[in-house]
Amino acid sequence: MITVMKFGGTSVGSPEALKRVANIIVEHESQKKVVVASAMSGITNFLVSTSEMTNAKEKKAAIDTFNDKHINTAKKLFTGKILDEFMKEYDERFDKFKSIILDGNKKDPYYKDNVSSQGERFSTLILSYVLKSMGVDSVAMTSEDCGICAEGKPLNGCAVLDKTETLMAVKLKPLVDAGTVPVITGFYGMMDDDKPLTFGRGGSDYSAAVIANGLNADMLEIWTDVDGFMSADPRMIPEAVRIDEMSYDEAAELAYFGAKVLHPRTIEPVRMKHIPLKVKNSFKPEDPGTLIHHLGRHTNELLKSVAVKTDLCIITISSAEITYRPKMVARIIEKMSENDVIIYSMSTSLSTVAFLIHNNDVKQTMMKLNTIDAADIEKIEVKNDVALICAVGDNLLTTCGVSGDIFSAVKEARANVEMISEGASDVSLNFVVPMSKVTDVIKILHKKFVSDKQ
Ligand code: ADP
Ligand code: ASP
Ligand code: MG
């Protein structure tokens, strides 16, 4: 049995946390274990700001801060021969890091990927040496060492799954079969030209799913700082409760629409190989966490969980009888796709078509739309600062009157529903409200449909 265990930034964020995580790995009953880790908490943000520095003195200070953080952590965790061995590998990685910060080519579109992915190289090295100091046969491996291939735009890559699986069969699988515990960098893969490409913020969950896919693992465990997949973001709703079991579809929709506990693309690589996924709390390893798998039976919860995607915007294009002119709609979508803009929702009426996109994509989208012949478009309106609420539940779409109940809760929050998508997915009801009302709506929905039902 192969288990891939991924630990997030907070779980590897201090010497105490690293020790706790090493104990979880050692005590885990799986025969073969593969570990994936994020950078220590705060490090990726620090690297993102470092990548924007131009002043050499500032860069040197950043290099020193980065070095102190990792060396001090390591020295609190192991000493003697293990520390000496660690320093050899550390120096090699650190020399490369220094030259990227001091001499890297800032004009390279993938420069930020290179800088921001550096933190994982050091957290994994430390964790591997903690395991060694506990007598475990462990090796620290980078994404390039084990063959994770990536493609896509800067800061937004995705894995090339078939190529990764082929490479892993040679570079990683034999080690795992021999009982070694590899500790692998999350967050990025390598492009064809041997440059690192990150999978977007929070991408180590996705890395772990890609590794589980490549190894045909039996289980993927995402170890984080909360009790599992919860009924809402516990930072927004402190009374949120842990969900015992979810289907791949439910988890995928919620992750895509903002449940930060899983990177939006985590589910697909494991779903396609039928690999179950557990979300567990590294601060409470004895707790059961949440199991995500092919869940056949219903659990009878009307509302299981809500997620929110913030900072969105509605673009409404008016054109006479546009729905009778499908080619016109196709042209609009084609224009938007030239910028790879993600459309989170779409609705049409006789003379309008409306798209929900991220605030950051508005400027480029407007430029593209303005290239369409003015005679074809009457007006384009932009409604800024809206958010999409994704509500997932077993009976949400099949029980008569539930959407009515949901919208009456929205009314209680005095929020206007700007857009609705019901029926597009089998498991979720999505609707758009102004950003200023999001917290109120979620609080009321959660109280009525989750807390009051406990
Ligand atoms: P890690 O560093 O372990 O990857 P993240 O910070 O990326 O952890 O994700 C965990 C956080 O996700 C939690 O601390 C929580 O605030 C947030 N979160 C948002 N929605 C949910 C949800 N539905 N269930 C659990 N956590 C959630
Ligand atoms: N360290 C990266 C980030 O902070 C990836 C991750 O944590 O999953 O986004
Ligand atoms: Mg995360």
What are the structural domains of the chain?
2-293 (3.40.1160.10), 305-453 (3.30.2130.10)
Going from the Cα of 92 to the center of ligand 3, the distance in angstroms, rounded, reads 28
Q: CA 324 to CA 287: how far, in whole Å?
A: 56
Q: DSSP for 25-41, please give it.
A: HHH---SEEEEEE-PPT
- Could you read off the pLDDT of 357-408 as tens digits, one per residue? 999 999 999 999 998 887 788 999 999 999 999 999 877 777 777 788 888 8
Assess whether the C-beta atom of 261 lies below 6 angstroms from ligand 2: no
- Could you read off the pLDDT of 40-72 as tens digits, one per residue? 999 999 999 999 999 999 999 999 999 999 999
Going from the Cα of 69 to the center of ligand 3, the distance in angstroms, rounded, reads 21
Q: Which two tokens stand for residue 398?
A: 């099949």
The more confident residue out of 32 and 452 is 32
pLDDT at 104: 95
pLDDT of 302 > 70? The answer is yes
- Could you read off the pLDDT of 96-121 as tens digits, one per residue? 999 999 999 999 999 999 999 999 99
Q: Which residues contact 259 (CB under 8 A, 6 or more apart)?
A: 229, 233, 305, 307
Ligand 2 atom at minimal distance to the Cα of residue 187:
5
Q: CA 10 to CA 44: how far, in whole Å?
A: 12
The residue to which tokens 């929702």 are assigned: 345
The more confident residue out of 245 and 404 is 245
pLDDT at 297: 67
pLDDT at 373: 80
Ligand 2 atom at minimal distance to the Cα of residue 205:
8
For residue 276, name the pLDDT band (cuts at 50, 70, 90).
very high
Q: Give the mean model confidence (pLDDT) for residues 293-310.
A: 85
The more confident residue out of 93 and 416 is 93
Ligand having the closest approach to the CA of 39? 2
Q: Give the mean model confidence (pLDDT) for residues 274-303.
A: 90
Mean of the per-residue pLDDT values of the chain:
94
Q: Which two tokens stand for residue 83?
A: 């520390």
- Could you read off the pLDDT of 143-176 as tens digits, one per residue? 999 999 999 999 999 999 999 999 999 999 999 9
Q: Determine which helix (DSSP H) or strand (DSSP E) holds 419, and give its type and residue range.
A: strand 419-422
Assess whether the C-beta atom of 123 lies below 6 angstroms from ligand 2: no
Classified as helix, coil or strand, 189 is strand
pTM, two decimals, is 0.95
Nearest CA owner, ligand 2 atom 5: 202
